[in-house]
Amino acid sequence: MNALRWMGAPVLWLALQVMLLLLGLGSLLWNAVALVLYPLLSRETGRRVGRAGIAAGYRLFWVMARAVGMMRLHSEPLDALRDEGGLIVVANHPSMLDAMMLVARLPRSACIMKASLMRNPFLAPGARLARYIRNDSPRGLVRLAVQDLKQGGQLVLFPEGTRTTKPPVNAFRGGVSFAKRAGVPIQTVFIDTSSPYLCKGWPLWRLPPLPIVFKVRLGRRFEPSDDPAAQMRELESYFAAGVRQTPPLCGIHP
């Protein structure tokens, strides 16, 4: 049994890298298409097409990952939010794949991106077409996020600010003030996993225990509060108590 396991490891590693390579190539292809579409489509049409295109590409990745048995994503509960406009989706952040999980099922959603990534020629065209929100200035970030929400968009947020390093969740850094300014509710989403794959510090080339399993659950919905700081503390406590599985810290792995 051990011999078979070790014989299979190189093949499994190669399959995982091929999947990630295909994801990257698909992203490059979509960004090339987006570069052409951006000047041709109106802002609203471009936003709709851009977000739907990114969501479709991510769904294809998850279908492929499941078909080869490498990853299992149980995210069907998100379908209940698919067509709802004016919503902030707040989630914990155990893995680099978290945004892909949520966006794949939420084609109306936008993410907040680093300004440097919005200038990256390999990533920026698709993000610009989808009208993703850049974080180059706090005032501009708030203005764009609130405008998008009022226009019926959804905003995916990870209040930890980075992938979880102190399970069950890192200290929350903010972002819920958008709810008060836009007058929209906050829908909590739990991402549960016991896999350390692509947690903070996990390199792309390292093969984790397989299959990699993620489960997504809908949590409580919070109405906008007049005290965003207090609401952020309440959300942090709620997530800390509600996360069911957390991967071991990446740093303990050889």
pLDDT digits (tens, 9 = 90+) for 129-142: 999 998 888 888 99
Per DSSP bridges, beta strands 212-222 and 186-192 are antiparallel
Do 225 and 185 contact (CB within 8 A), yes or no?
no
Residue type at 195 in one-letter notation: S
Starting at the earlier edge strand, list the strands of the sheet with 133-134: 71-74, 212-222, 186-192, 87-91, 154-157, 109-113, 133-134
Range in 69-73, 174-178, 193-197, 208-212 with the lowest mean pLDDT: 174-178
Radius of gyration of the CA atoms of the chain, in A: 18
pLDDT digits (tens, 9 = 90+) for 188-234: 999 999 889 999 889 888 888 888 999 999 999 999 999 999 999 99
The confidence score (pLDDT) of residue 28 equals 94
**pTM for this one?**
0.91
Nearest to 196 by CA among 233, 249, 124, 243: 249
- Burial zone of 95 (CB within 10 Å; 0-12 exposed, 13-18 middle, 19+ buried): buried
